[in-house]
Structure 1
Amino acid sequence: MDNTTTEDTSDTEEEILVYAEFADSVNIEKYNSMHILGIDTKTPIVQMNETFFTGTYENPLGTYMFFENDTSPQSTDPVFDRIPEKNVKYVCKTRKLLKVEHGYITPKDGSGQSTQNQAQQAQEDAIKMVSFKTVQEALDKFKQEWCTNESSSTDNNINNLKES
């Protein structure tokens, strides 16, 4: 029996703090659950309950700092230091900014039919290739189509151009 040592292959996690700024006024406290899909991509998707948001990373102008309420403020000099009514203490900082806005999802109705319709529309819009044996044949064909689309005065202009 061979004695081999196995390495501990546990997943490593890296914790990065991201500041998310919502374009619309969103009351985050009314949502029960939050899921972030593709946080490591350029455009993550945030789902809060049944509402979807799309985000993009931007470079902030400075550093975002996070504070929390300090329940036990300390004073170094009790005689001259006044303790303010609200005290906060530094928690952490980040330079990651995620701008988030509402994302709207539309269902695909008859996706098989829509691709067929798109292909048919593309065929109708395509320019048909035409080949002529001589320049005179091309001019005659152009003149014939032009005359059906334009008035007789335009036809006279083509004749004048041909003669000159």
Structure 2
Amino acid sequence: MSDTGTASDDVEEILVFAEFEDSVNLDKYNSIHVLGIETKHPVFQLDDTFFTGTTENPLGTFMFFEDDPSPHCEDSLFDKLPEKYLKYVCKTRKLISVEHAYVTPKEGKEDQPVEVPDSMEDDIKPADFKTIPDAIEQFKKEWAQNLKP
């Protein structure tokens, strides 16, 4: 027997409300990536800016609405349509609080200068080529010299 189910049968779609600590205009970013959405601390990448999130249990339900282009009223005599009419889309009980991520040094690893062995200091020479073919020729010569016993 063959399996007639598709991969999409196993996918469950859950709507999540992400609340940014700072006011973030999502329209100005070209790409938005979320890493580890199923984890307790997902990471959000908006272009080159990183944010960290924390999954929380909200006190209530978050409801989502969108503009209704064709609102209707039940009683045209007594009902007055507002300037902006919204219709219900969906709801969720999933909340992620998001804040800017900052790079910090690891504990126990202060800014220690990298030590270069004395033998390497003597071998380092500045590059003195003008074009890419000159660089390739110089590399070939040095490589051949280093291969000789």
TM-score (norm 1): 0.60
Q: CA deviation at 1:9?
A: 5.4
- One-letter code aligned to 1:74: H
Q: CA deviation at 1:25?
A: 1.6
Instruction: Quote the residue 2:6 is aligned against.
Output: 10
* Separation (CA, whole Å) in 2 of partners of 1:98 and 1:19: 6
* Separation (CA, whole Å) in 1 of partners of 2:39 and 2:25: 25
* Separation (CA, whole Å) in 2 of partners of 1:80 and 1:9: 53
Match of 1:47 among 35, 41, 45: 45
Secondary structure of residue in 2 paired with 1:72: coil
Quick check: which one's helix share is greater? 1
* Structure with larger Rg: 1
Match of 1:72 among 65, 70, 73: 70
* Separation (CA, whole Å) in 1 of partners of 2:3 and 2:98: 41
- Paired residues in the alignment total 107
Match of 2:26 among 25, 28, 34: 28
Q: After the TM superposition, which residues 8-157 of structure 1 pair with which residues of structure 2 at under 5 Å, given as runs?
A: 8=4, 10-11=6-7, 12-105=10-103
Instruction: Quote the residue 2:137 is aligned against.
Output: none
* Separation (CA, whole Å) in 2 of partners of 1:80 and 1:14: 44
* Separation (CA, whole Å) in 1 of partners of 2:103 and 2:32: 17
- Listed one character per residue, the Cα deviations across residues 26-47 of structure 1 (whole Å, up to 9, x for unaligned) are 1111111111100001110011
Percent identity over paired residues: 61
* Separation (CA, whole Å) in 2 of partners of 1:32 and 1:106: 26
Q: CA deviation at 1:24?
A: 1.3
- One-letter code aligned to 2:4: D
- One-letter code aligned to 1:7: D
The gaps in structure 1 that reach 5 residues or longer are 115-164
Structure 1 moving runs of 4+ over 4 Å:
none
